Amino acid sequence: MAQTKKPLSSRIFRLVAGLVFCWMLLLNCLTPYLADDYTFAYAFDTGERLHSLPQLISSLVFHYHEWSGRVIVKFFAQGFTMFPKLLFNVCNAGMFMALGLVLYKLAVGRRSQKVDWLALALIYAALWEISPVFGQTNLWMCGACNYLWATVGCCAFLLPWRYYLQQPFASTARMAAGMALAGLLAGWLSENTSAGMLVCLVLAGAVVFKRERRLPAWMATGLAGALVGFALLITARGNFNRASGFSDYDSLLTRYAMRFFACLNMLKDYALPLLFSFAILFLLLCFARQDAVKADLLWPLILLAGALGANFAMIGSHDYYPRSTHGVFALLAAACAACLVQLNSKAFRRGLACLSACVGIVCGIHMLEAGYDIASYWMMDHVRTQTLRQEISELDEPAAASIISYGIEPYTKWCGAYGLPDIRENGEDSLALGRARWFGVTSITATETRTYPFAGHTNETYAAGEAAAENAESMD
């Protein structure tokens, strides 16, 4: 971990961030509209194509009362559909780059003079490798706005707390007002990521209060704003309307026991590399920094508590989808980095450099695989879209037509379409109707699912094709 003022370190730091932006821009450009993107292009209240801000606001009000309280992120998810997708591609690539930089600043705080490009690279590597559905949360337009953008907002709001724990600074009335508004928006972003953020705010505030016997005005207003925003998010009527459609265990004890173990399993299945890394790094920090300021040791624990809070906040939800781990794993990565940047011994740096080289090889292989998978899916989707438009253009009454097409199945978690519903046999659900409306027909259904060859990988469609080919050969 090069923590020096040398210009070379600064240039490498900027190079890492720039390369990440370029890579994510390429992947975003190769990710077409998917699943809910078609539905979000239309106003929820009128069903008309979105084209103005008043129309968007009216749609979000309807969404808040009928479907979900998550209207801040939905503002972007719906708003981007009014513009060419290139705008989202650029903004989203910048947002992923920003996430790594924000997590880095959460780790180093005010140590701006110690540029640590390797820590930044490892943060990006963790985000790339650990996410169980990377494409859903970072490339798919609707998913990225709901998860990537929400995580950036919540983590960025934590930065003043991080800075104040390191070195107190004066509070102003303007800052107090600004933090109240920022807190309102941050608390309103995501049910579990905002909950994890609130855990961090409360714990950091407790440390400050114990140290100073008071809370700065900006900290009090920021926390109050975040609590109000979170309350607006959770108590939306749409949440209760949607919850009424779920079936659950009759026994209250069984219900929440099952939800608890669902949360625990999510950590066990995906987060053990980060949890093990944190345990090792924190113990090394405790042994190496005997003279460490208490806040330097407490901050990684606060971030860990926030990550666990975000994870187990999903006990309140009927389902815990893998994409909801985005904020959890981002906070875990920040907790690990907060330990990492404080370990400066030469022996540790050499060992870390060797480990980082191995991680880099793994990431490089996965980048090649992801690039092939995403590009192949984009090509198949492009051909399918062109075919659909050609068929529809030849119809006398396209608005009354029912089109038969095919689904496409990707292979890896890095593809935005991985795990998302595509064109299916049922053309009556909201996602299918949204796609049909986009193409100007009554319905689009699929009688088969297709895929593309990918050496060393398989999926359900490829396996089914192989089985069918073997059966045909045996019959011959």
Q: Which two tokens stand for residue 340?
A: 């990492």
Q: What is the pTM of this model?
A: 0.92
Residues 6+ apart with CB under 8 A from 117: 2, 9, 12, 13, 15, 16
Per-residue pLDDT of the chain (476 residues; tens, 9 = 90+): 445 455 788 899 999 999 999 999 999 999 999 999 999 999 999 989 999 999 999 999 999 998 889 999 999 999 999 999 999 999 999 999 999 999 999 999 886 667 889 999 999 999 999 999 999 999 999 999 999 999 999 999 999 999 999 888 888 999 999 999 999 999 999 999 999 999 999 999 999 999 888 999 999 999 999 999 999 999 988 887 776 656 666 678 888 899 999 999 999 999 999 999 999 999 999 888 666 567 678 999 999 999 999 999 999 888 899 999 999 999 999 999 999 998 888 888 888 889 999 999 999 999 999 999 999 999 999 999 999 999 999 888 888 888 999 999 999 999 999 999 998 888 777 888 889 999 999 999 998 999 999 988 888 887 877 776 677 666 65
Cβ–Cβ < 8 Å for 188, 224: no
Q: What is the DSSP letter of 50?
A: P
CB 118 within 8 A of CB 255: no
What's residue 53's pLDDT?
A: 95
Mention every residue, 6+ apart, whose C-beta is less than 8 A from residue 68: 74, 236, 238, 239, 242
C-alpha Rg value of the chain to the nearest Å: 24
Residue-wise burial string across 93-109, b where 16 or more C-beta atoms lie within 10 A, e elsewhere: bebbbbbbbbbbbbbbb
pLDDT score of 112 = 60
Give the pLDDT score at 18. 97
Are the C-beta atoms of 351 and 280 separated by less than 8 Å? no
Domain locations in the chain? 3-344, 386-475
Place of tokens 């030469």: 346
Q: How far is CA 243 from CA 68, 217, 285, 313, 317, in A?
A: 10, 38, 44, 16, 9
Region of residue 362 (phi > 0: left; psi between -120 and 50: alpha; otherwise: beta): alpha
